[in-house]
Structure formats: structure tokens, C-alpha cells
Amino acid sequence: MPVLAATPENVALAAECLKAGGIVAFPTESVYGLGAIVWDARAVARVFEAKRRPSFDPLIVHVLGLEMLDEVAAELPPAAALLAERFWPGPLTLVLPKRPAVPSLVTAGLETVAVRMPSHPVARALIEAAGAPIAAPSANPFGALSPTRAQHVARLLGDAVDIILDGGPTEHGIESTIIGFTPRPTLLRPGAIPLEDLSSVIPSSPSVILSLSKDERPTAPGQLPHHYAPRTPLRVANLAEVPPAQRARAGALALREAPAGYGAVRVLSPAGDLREAAARLFDALHELDALGLERIYAEPIEERGLGLAIADRLARAQAAG
């Protein structure tokens, strides 16, 4: 499992690996993905196997442009076109009617496909060199913390990956926002683009609504209630109210200020900047998770702007603990 700097030569090597049926981890602007050529069902099955991901959880297909989007999606509804025009390339995933050629394993047997157009130059160079859409969930074991660095991928997946392209830490540090159209624009997973930004782009349509679906079978990635979890049990709690006797062997994940008495503390943003906090979230959890603590206590985050996505990840991590 070589970890290679994301030079043009190594991107070309990784593209050849994909074309030969391999699976490659690569950086996007959100988190690191683990990809296979979308048409190669055997390679896509390797992605599921490497992640230990259940086959009922669909993957996101990464495309380079609208021409490639047309290869996998049968339709782009008007509201979806407005969102794509504003936020693509970028961390926005649209759930669209699929083309019959897209393997059912990619879409978990659904008649829709989750698609996004990444902005990260390494991701775009890899798709271009491969000459095909790349199906790629996050490059981590299913349900575990998402990787924001190549080193996270190497530690979590190891030899299950053929090549890891190291493009440094990711920009947003949290997964893409996912929107479905049923036909009303529906927020299926909060992510790196806040709900308020999405709603402002489609004022002529009904407001984007938050889906609170608890279906066992998800219609988009990241909808299962137990997800994004460190190995160390995590609880969302008021950090000042945790009994002092429980703090010494516990870690604290705080938004602005470091609380006293904890065995380890990570502050997401001293300025209270939610964009900085989101970018730091998984990195900080990886650090706390590596310290052998008995528990991690995470400060509640107000569900506004990017705080909605951060609170969503913490709630799913808590449910898994």
C-alpha cells in the first residue's frame, strides 16, 4: 500500500491502477475518498470489501464536468441545475435519476445515483486521467471517523488500498452536503455547504427541507444513525457539568475555550468560526482517539450554518458509542 505524493506522475500511475481494476484513495476538498472506476463492478465490490461497508449503502460518483454527469445521470431537475451552477465544482452531492448503465452495486439497487463534481485539483486530475467517473465513499472503515489526511487512510485501511495519493490535509474536513429531489429539494445529509446557502439559490422553489428519515435502507450515503465514530466512546455534553472525577481519563472536544481538568483537550476554533471548526473536527477526533482515553466528551454545537453538519456528525458518533 504505497503512500505517494500527489505529483502529476503519481496521479497518472494511480489512474492506470484504476483502469486495471485497482482501488485508490485520493484527496477531495471534503475528505479522502476510496475510489474505483464506476463501470468496474468488481473493483467497486473491492471498495465495499475494503471498507466493510454494507451493500445497501450507496456510493457517491465523482465526475469531472456536465458531459461526464450525463454518462451516469438521466436527468438534472431545474432546482438541481441551479445548485450545480452555483456550487459545482465543490462539496455538494445531488441525488439524481440514474442511467441504466450504472451498476446496481454503486446505487445499492436504487433508481437514483448520488453525484458530485469535486473541486480538489488532485481529484479532478485523477478523474481526467482515468477518463471515467469514479465511485468513491470516504476512505475509512464503515462507520469510523472520516479521513482528512493520507496518514488516516494508511492507518485505517492499510494494505486493503492499492495506492494512496497524499494531497495534504483536506480543506473543509467534513463530507459533502447531499440534496435529493422528491421532487422537492430535500437535505439528505448536512455537510460542507450550509443549508442556508442552498436555500438562497433556489428562492423560486420551496425551501430546502431537512430529511429526518430513519429508514434502515438509506437513499444517500451517510444517513445511517450510527456513523462517523471514533473507537473511544463519545458523548455530547456540557463540558463544565462533567464531574471532575470523570475528567482526568477523558478527552474534551471544545468549540472555543479549553475546559479545565480533562486528560486531553482539542479546541476546534478559538474564534468560534464554524468553518474552521468543521475543517478541524475529524482531525481533532482522530488525535483524541489515539490517546487511549476512556471517553471523549464533545461540546454541543448550535445547529446553524455549518454547525448543523458538525452537530449531525457528533450525534451519529454518540449513537455508535
Question: Which of 24, 95, 18, 84 lies closest to 60, judged by CA?
Answer: 95
The domain locations on the chain are 3-210, 234-320
**Which residues, including other chains, have CB under 8 Å from residue 145's CB and lie 6 or more apart?**
152, 228, 229, 230, 282, 285, 286, 289, 317
Q: What is the pLDDT of residue 205?
A: 53
Task: Retrieve residue 112's grid coordinates.
Answer: 437514483
CA torsion sign, 82 to 99 to 71 to 213? positive
Question: Which of 242, 287, 245 lies closest to 264, judged by CA?
Answer: 287
Residues 3-210, CATH architecture? Alpha-Beta Complex (3.90)
Cβ 299 vs Cβ 254: under 8 Å: yes
Q: What is the pLDDT of residue 210?
A: 60
Task: Tell me how far apart the alpha carbons of residues 292 and 175 are, in angstroms, rounded to a whole number.
Answer: 26
- How far from chain centre, in Å, is Cα 40? 22
Question: Which of 119, 122, 98, 105 lies closest to 36, judged by CA?
Answer: 105
For the chain, 321 residues long, give each residue's pLDDT as a single digit of tens: 689 999 999 999 999 999 999 999 999 999 999 999 999 999 999 999 999 988 888 999 999 999 999 999 999 999 999 999 999 999 999 999 999 999 999 999 999 999 999 999 999 999 999 999 999 999 999 889 999 999 999 999 999 999 999 999 999 999 999 999 977 888 899 999 998 898 888 765 556 666 545 555 666 676 565 567 899 999 999 999 999 999 999 999 999 999 999 999 999 999 999 999 999 999 999 999 999 999 999 999 999 999 999 999 999 899 765
Q: What is the pLDDT of residue 219?
A: 67
Q: What is the pLDDT of residue 223?
A: 59
Q: Three-state SS across 186-210?
A: EEEECCCCCHHHHHHHCCCCCCCEE
| Segment (H or E) for 33 | strand 32-37
pTM value is: 0.92
Residue type, 266: R
As a CATH number, domain 234-320 is: 3.40.50.11030
Q: What is the pLDDT of residue 31?
A: 98
Number of H helices, E strands in the chain: 11, 15
| Segment (H or E) for 114 | strand 112-116
Task: Retrieve residue 111's grid coordinates.
Answer: 433508481
| Segment (H or E) for 181 | strand 177-181
Task: Retrieve residue 263's grid coordinates.
Answer: 486528560
Residue type, 314: L
Q: Give the max Cα distance, the chain.
A: 59
